[in-house]
Amino acid sequence: MTMALTLGIDVAVRAEHQATLARDGATVWRGRKFWTRPADLERLWADLDLPDPAELTVVVEPTRNAWIVLAEWFRCHGARVVMVPTTQSADLRKYYSKHTKNDRIDSELLARLPLLHPEGLREYSGQGPADSLRRLVKQRSTMVKRRVAVFARLDALVELLGPAWYAVLGSNYGIAALEFLARYADPHAVIRLGRARLTRFLIARSRGAWRDDHAAGLITAARETLALWGTGDGSDGMDFAELAEDIAHEAEQALFLTRQIRQIDERVANLYADADPAGIVASAPGVGAVISAVIAGRIGDPHRFTSLAAIRAYTGLVPKVNQSGVSKVESSITKAGDPLLREMLCTAADQARRVDPQFAAKYQRLMVGDRHHESAICHLATHLVTRIAACMRAGQPYALRDVDGTPITEAEDGRSSRRATRSTRGGAKTSDTGGCVSAASRRRTRSPRSRDALQQPSPPIPSLRAARWLDLG
């Protein structure tokens, strides 16, 4: 009879790892220390003395990114690698070691975990943080948020020059506006530059989009600023040179981040083409180039999830449930999943309701019922990711269908969604997964409060600057 061998590893980031080996739950040895170095790993592998590497199960906790190297090394050597969620292992650790917490006990707990709590283990698949697309879409999101913060600071500084500058440059800073602010934010410098030279500068930086009219507007704005800040003795009421330096610093940061984001976009496009050559994710409504790459990169292999419900739970868009006996209370969403994936799904769902008739009908029913706009969008995002995951599993592109299930073309989808929005409150029920999974009935509720809310326009996007840099498909 084959004995089950389990190696529990307490992963450290800056210190030595500790390992414990157990055979059928009985500890063989414990507290073996090693580093993530080839020599240490080979020595540990030799000490295991395995006739068949497939007999070994390695249990690790996802500690930052230090675990991924160990997991990949053991998997390449034929061992089975499983992970345990940190919240579950923490609860078991409290029971296992009531008064003491150290690395030796942690590694022993992980070695015994397959017997104590086997359903809490998740087999390691993919490369996790080492996956290029997964890592790159997160990096892009971080840079976009940094640029939005820079734009907010830039707005505050430009406001000191007066409203005329904001009227000429616009609310969204392009390359031409940023290049101008990086060099000529001082109104004295704008006037000295003159209309002819400023026109040539703007034509070169904007590729001909900004010409003489913008140059004239900027010179007028500079003169208005000097008039606003002028004093009785003819001097300036502000040090414009220092203000121009501050504006230049912010504009240069925005230019740098813009160049970085463009480079990342090119890399993301190539990686997404390799990850989803059939374009299944991009075929979904409301999903463009950026959002499709985020969904493909953050979900990874959809077959690694046990069910579609597990994928929904991974997004954190499912409600918290408190059930006891005949009572069941569903409160706010868990938000326990990937925040970037959740953000992109909600953005895509808000666009999908304008394109897909079934989503439009469901949004209408939710708003007529007891839901507000954000709650309805969360519901739609849950259904959208379920449909996308089902299509990814089946290897089929997303198929747009009318509320009665009739396939429609791209030319008809806008008209059908508008008809669904104007339809009666009952409408036709739609399936969770469109053409990929069978339909399921859904509960409908109504209240006067939500009927009143339906008459109000949809709330605006929280940040217009962030929306400009998101691909809304």
Residue 179's CATH number: 1.10.287
- 113, 187: one domain: no
Lookup: tokens for 194: 């003159």
DSSP reduced 3-state for 324: strand
Task: Assess if residue 362 is contained within a domain.
Answer: yes
Beta strand segments in 251-404, E: 319-324, 327-333
Average pLDDT of span 219-223: 94
CA–CA distance from 469 to each of 42, 293, 410 (Å)? 48, 15, 25
Task: Assess if residue 124 is contained within a domain.
Answer: yes
Tokens 């800056």 belong to 14
Helix (H) or strand (E) holding 317: none
pLDDT at 10 over 50: yes
Sheet holding 17-23, edge to edge: 26-34, 17-23, 5-10, 56-60, 80-83, 122-123
Name, in order, each residue with C-beta under 8 angstroms of 305's C-beta and a sequence gap of 6 or more.
311, 314, 389
Task: Assess if residue 274 is contained within a domain.
Answer: no
Q: At what angle do helices 308-315 and 373-394 cross, to 10 degrees?
A: 140
Look at residue 371 in the predicted model and tell me its pLDDT: 83
pLDDT at 119 over 90: no
Q: Which of 129, 112, 122, 136 has the alpha carbon at shortest distance from 66? A: 129
- 287, 419: one domain: yes
Task: Assess if residue 425 is contained within a domain.
Answer: yes
Average pLDDT of span 361-373: 89
- 66, 160: one domain: no
- 196, 250: one domain: yes
Condensed to tens digits (0 to 9), the pLDDT of residues 405-440 reads: 888 876 665 565 566 555 534 444 444 444 453 333
Higher pLDDT, 381 or 411: 381
Higher pLDDT, 457 or 259: 259
pLDDT at 97 over 60: no
- 149, 115: one domain: no
Look over the chain and give the mean of its residue pLDDT values, rounded to a whole number. 81
Domain range enclosing 34: 5-130
Task: Assess if residue 275 is contained within a domain.
Answer: no
- 246, 332: one domain: no
What is residue 460's DSSP assignment? P
Look at residue 407 in the predicted model and tell me its pLDDT: 87
Cα–Cα distance for residue pair 124/384, rounded to 1 Å: 26
CA–CA distance from 211 to each of 166, 280, 316, 348, 473 (Å)? 17, 43, 49, 37, 31
Is residue 413 within 8 Å of residue 361, measured between CB atoms?
Answer: no
pLDDT at 174 over 70: yes
- Domains held by the chain: number: 3
Residue by residue, DSSP assigns 351-364 as HHTTT-HHHHHHHH
- 319, 429: one domain: yes
- 296, 411: one domain: yes
Q: Which of 181, 217, 185 has the alpha carbon at shortest distance from 199? A: 217
Look at residue 473 in the predicted model and tell me its pLDDT: 36
- 92, 241: one domain: no
Cα–Cα distance for residue pair 385/292, rounded to 1 Å: 11
pLDDT at 466 over 90: no
Look at residue 74 in the predicted model and tell me its pLDDT: 92
Q: Where among 93, 110, 130 does a domain terminate?
A: 130
Tokens 């602010």 belong to 181
Task: Assess if residue 113 is contained within a domain.
Answer: yes
Task: Assess if residue 62 is contained within a domain.
Answer: yes
- 126, 160: one domain: no
Average pLDDT of span 211-240: 89
- 227, 113: one domain: no
Look at residue 332 in the predicted model and tell me its pLDDT: 80
Task: Assess if residue 307 is contained within a domain.
Answer: yes
Q: Where among 103, 130, 157 does a domain terminate?
A: 130
Average pLDDT of span 132-141: 94
- 445, 302: one domain: yes
Q: Where among 267, 291, 309 does a domain terminate?
A: 267
